[in-house]
A = this chain, B = another copy of it.
Amino acid sequence: MRPKNAFYAQSGGVSAVINASACGVLETARRHPTQIAKVYAGRNGIIGALTEDLIDTSVESEAAVAALKHTPGAAFGSCRYRLGSLTEQRAQFDRLIEVFRAHDIGFFFYNGGGDSQDTTWKVSQMVQGLEDPVVCIGIPKTIDNDLVITDCSPGFGSVAKYLALSLREAAFDVAAMKRTSTNVFVLEVMGRHAGWMTAACGLAADHEGDAPHLLLLPEVPYNEERVLAKIQEALRRHDHCVIAVSEGIKRPNGEFFSAGAKDAFGHAQLGGVAPLIADLIRKKLGCKCHWAVPDYLQRSARHIASATDVEQAYAVGCAAVQMALAGRNAVMPAIRRLSDEPYSWDTVEAPLCDVANQEKLLPPEFISADGFGITEAARRYLAPLIVGEAYPPFKNGLPDYVRLRNAPVSRKLPATVLQGWDGERS
């Protein structure tokens, strides 16, 4: 049988290692030219398919593809774009199928989080029963670590490492300055609902009394009085207090602490909790308080990515192609943990229908009794995910990240209007 082309796209908030998954997809596909002809990437995720804006990855050198493994961001562009309502969807799916047919696409690889796996699942449903089947495989990615079935989500380990490391470093700073200057430091951590990233900050502590002294997790109801009492206790015992706070903590009335604009998925755009908490501490306790909001720095910090995470991100990219070639469909490679120590894992299949639109929060047994820390069980789970450094190459003192050529594939279809998208062809 003549080999078909594959479509690959990146979706949702990017990470330090989503390009490592892309590398896994491209390298594995290239090793099977009798089954996969070319890999076309969608420019800006699914939008690239809907607007027939495809990138021909076959023109990229082997070295460029290999360099994806150490490059943050999303090499082909990502998107926050949810497929429309059922009626709109019908038109959009028809359009997808039209594009797939026009470009002889037999494989659909979609790399993203829970929302994106929903897209993959829907596409797999729509193409069922077509004369020209399209194999649909999801590839997990989310710094939030909230995907179900998979033991962890590629992208998370690197953010976890960055945050635990940054908090440890900042804590050395605060400990040095505490007697005449700052004695409270607040680090704001991404994570809308799930506290995995905030929990990972707990890894910075090796010994009793080490920072962080408080975690403010989105899973734990915020209680100002208890928070202030805990901070005072830390100040009494350690002369300083280092706090990691999730951007997703809510006020007692259920509103986000820092409610702002909404993103394209209709989720609240958060950020800016740390200055509010710092202000509260300043006013109520009279401390000199510093705060940091690393924002995108945390999810793009490829320079200090977890080697474990890079390996897993690469592995799920490879596994996705292997599953497709093995005739599997509507599945996602998931990480399965075989052992905590020594840490070992492999990849297994997860049905997309079970992954789509699910969200895995921190389990109660990972949260300490007072709600302000993590348990030993959490440490056992988290610890292996940040192990190993996978430094990128440096040039002139800075990481030498790759920019692909991203050559467009010639269009074969008339342009269509895409709801909610203001790209060139809309």
Name A's B-contacting residues (CB within 8 A). Answer: 10, 13-14, 16, 44-45, 47, 71-75, 77-81, 161, 164-166, 168-170, 172-182, 185, 187, 203-204, 261, 263-264, 269, 271-272, 275, 282, 288, 290-297, 299-304, 306, 383, 386-389, 391, 394, 396-399, 401, 421, 423
| A73 contacts B176, C-beta separation under 8 Å | yes
Contact A179–B297 (Cβ < 8 Å): no
As for how many copies of this chain the complex holds, the number is 2
A166 and B301 in contact, given A173-B72, A176-B14, A398-B204 (Cβ under 8 angstroms): yes
16 contacts between A and B (CB under 8 A): A72-B169, A72-B173, A73-B169, A73-B173, A73-B175, A75-B176, A79-B177, A161-B398, A169-B301, A169-B303, A181-B264, A203-B398, A272-B275, A292-B293, A293-B293, A389-B391
Given contacts A181-B264, A292-B297, whether A164 and B398 have CB atoms under 8 Å apart is yes
Bound CA–CA A293/B297 (angstroms): 10
Cβ contact of A180, chosen from B16, B178, B421, cutoff 8 A: B421
Residues of B within 8 A of A297 (CB): 166, 169-170, 187, 292, 294, 297
Residue of B nearest to A181 (CB): B80
Task: Give the most central of A81, A396, A398: most B CB within 10 Å.
Answer: A398
**Given A272-B275, A288-B269: A282 touches B295 (CB 8 Å cut-off):** no
Residues from chain B with a CB closer than 8 A to the CB of A168 are 398-399, 401
Query: How close is A421's CB to chain B, nearest CB, in angstroms?
Result: 7
Closest residue of B by beta carbon distance from A178: B77
Counting from the closest, the 10 A-B pairs by CB-CB distance are A73-B172, A386-B397, A74-B176, A292-B295, A169-B300, A173-B300, A387-B397, A79-B180, A73-B176, A170-B296
Asked whether B172 lies within 8 Å of A71 as measured between CB atoms, the reply is yes
Residue contact B296 to A176, C-beta cutoff 8 Å: no
Q: How far is the CB of A416 from chain B (nearest CB, A)?
A: 17
Taken together as a complex, chains A and B put the C-alpha atoms of A396 and B301 apart, in Å, by 18
Minimum CB–CB distance from A171 to chain B (whole Å) comes to: 8
Residue from B71, B165, B282, B423 within 8 A of A399 (CB atoms): B165
Output the least CB separation between A203 and chain B (Å). 7
Task: A78-B177, A185-B296, A271-B291 are known; give 11 further A-B pairs, CB within 8 A.
Answer: A73-B173, A77-B179, A168-B398, A169-B401, A172-B300, A187-B297, A261-B288, A290-B295, A292-B295, A303-B304, A386-B398
Q: Which of B75, B170, B296, B423 contacts A300 (CB 8 A)?
A: B170
Minimum Cβ distance to chain B for residue A68 (Å): 12
Nearest neighbor of A170 in chain B, beta-carbon distance: B296
Q: Tell me the complex Cα distance, A141–B217, Å.
A: 37
In the bound complex, CA of A261 to CA of B289 (Å): 10
In angstroms, Cα B44 to Cα A189, docked, is 30
Q: Is the beta-carbon distance between A399 and B169 smaller than 8 angstroms? A: yes
A180 touches B80 (CB 8 A): yes
**B173:A423 contact, CB within 8 angstroms:** no
A81 and B177 CA atoms in complex are apart in Å by 11
A179 vs B290: C-alpha distance when bound (angstroms): 34
The one of B75, B161, B172 in contact with A397, judged by C-beta atoms closer than 8 angstroms, is B161
Nearest B residue (CB) for A46: B180
Chain B nearest Cβ from A401, distance in angstroms: 6
A184 to B166 alpha-carbon distance, docked (Å): 24
Known contacts A179-B47, A179-B79, A297-B294; is-contact A389 B398 (Cβ 8 Å):
no
Contact B173 A81 (CB under 8 A): no
Interface centre among A166, A170, A182, A204 (most CB of B within 10 A): A170
Nearest-CB distance from A236 to chain B (Å)? 14
Min distance, Cβ A53 to any Cβ of chain B, angstroms: 10
Question: Is B174 within 8 A of A296, CB to CB?
Answer: yes
Contact A44 B179 (CB under 8 A): yes
Contact between A294 and B296, CB atoms less than 8 A apart: no
